[in-house]
Structure 1
Amino acid sequence: MSETKKELIKPNVVDSDDDGTICLGESFFIDDNYELTTFTFGPHVLQLLCLQSASTDFDLTGQLVWPGARLLNEYLSNNAELLQGCSAVELGSGVGITGILCSRFCNEVVLTDHNDEVLKILNKNIDLHESSENPNSCAALSAEKLEWGNTDQLNQILQKHPEGFDLVLGADIYILQNSVPPLFETVKELLLLRSGKEGCKFILGYVSRSKMMDVMVPKEAVKHGLQIREVEGTRSVIANLEGVIYEITLSN
Structure 2
Amino acid sequence: MDKREEPEKEEDEIVCLDESFFINDNYELTTFTFGSQVLQLFCLQSASTDFDLTGQLVWPGAIIMNNYLSKNTDMLQGCSIIELGSGVGITGILCRRFCRRILLTDHNDEVLKILNKNIELHATSESPTTCSGLAAEKLEWGNDDHLSRISEQYSGGFDLVLGADICFQQSSIAPLFDTVEQLLRLKGVNCCKFILAYVSRTKIMDTLVIDEAVKHGMQVSEVQGTRSVVGNHEGVIFEISLP
- Same-fold call, TM > 0.5? yes
Residue in structure 2 matched with residue 242 of structure 1 by the alignment: 234
Residue in structure 2 matching 1:181, options 169, 174, 195: 174
CA contact (8 A) 1:167 1:203 kept: yes
Root-mean-square deviation (Å)? 1.6
Q: Does 1:38 align with 2:38?
A: no
Residue in structure 2 matched with residue 91 of structure 1 by the alignment: 84
Which aligned pairs between 1:64-213 and structure 2 lie closer than 5 A?
64-134=57-127, 137=130, 139-198=132-191, 200-213=192-205
SS of the equivalent of 1:225 reads coil
Counterpart-to-counterpart distance in 2, 1:228 and 1:120 = 33
Counterpart-to-counterpart distance in 1, 2:121 and 2:189 = 37
Counterpart-to-counterpart distance in 2, 1:117 and 1:245 = 28
What is the Cα deviation at residue 164 of structure 1?
0.6
Counterpart-to-counterpart distance in 2, 1:206 and 1:58 = 22
Residue in structure 1 matched with residue 214 of structure 2 by the alignment: 222
TM superposition outliers: structure 1 runs of 4+ over 6 Å: none
CA contact (8 A) 1:40 1:46 kept: yes
CA contact (8 A) 1:104 1:136 kept: no
SS of the equivalent of 1:30 reads coil
Unaligned runs of 5+ in 2: 1-9
Q: Deviations over 1:67-105 (max 9, x none)?
A: 000000000000011101000000000000000000000
- CA separation of 1:80 and 1:139: change in aligned 2, threshold 3 A: farther
Which of 1 and 2 has greater Rg? 2
What is the Cα deviation at residue 139 of structure 1?
4.7
CA contact (8 A) 1:126 1:141 kept: yes
Q: Deviations over 1:196-249 (max 9, x none)?
A: 454x20000011011110111001000111111110111111111110000000
Instruction: Compute the TM-score of the two structures, normalised by the length of structure 1.
Output: 0.89
Instruction: Compute the TM-score of the two structures, normalised by the length of structure 2.
Output: 0.92
Unaligned runs of 5+ in 1: 1-15
Counterpart-to-counterpart distance in 2, 1:135 and 1:149 = 34
- CA separation of 1:136 and 1:77: change in aligned 2, threshold 3 A: farther
Counterpart-to-counterpart distance in 1, 2:151 and 2:48 = 31
Counterpart-to-counterpart distance in 2, 1:223 and 1:206 = 18
SS of the equivalent of 1:23 reads coil
What is the Cα deviation at residue 21 of structure 1?
6.0
Equivalenced residue count is 234
Amino acid at match of 2:227: R
SS of the equivalent of 1:170 reads strand
- CA separation of 1:176 and 1:114: change in aligned 2, threshold 3 A: same
CA contact (8 A) 1:107 1:138 kept: no
Amino acid at match of 2:82: V
CA contact (8 A) 2:190 2:241 kept: no
Q: Deviations over 1:119-161 (max 9, x none)?
A: 0000000000110024882651000000000111011011111
What is the Cα deviation at residue 170 of structure 1?
0.4
Of 230-239 and 137-146, the range deviating more from structure 2: 137-146
CA contact (8 A) 2:65 2:197 kept: yes
Query: RCO higher in 1 or 2 (8 Å CA, sep ≥ 6)?
Result: 2
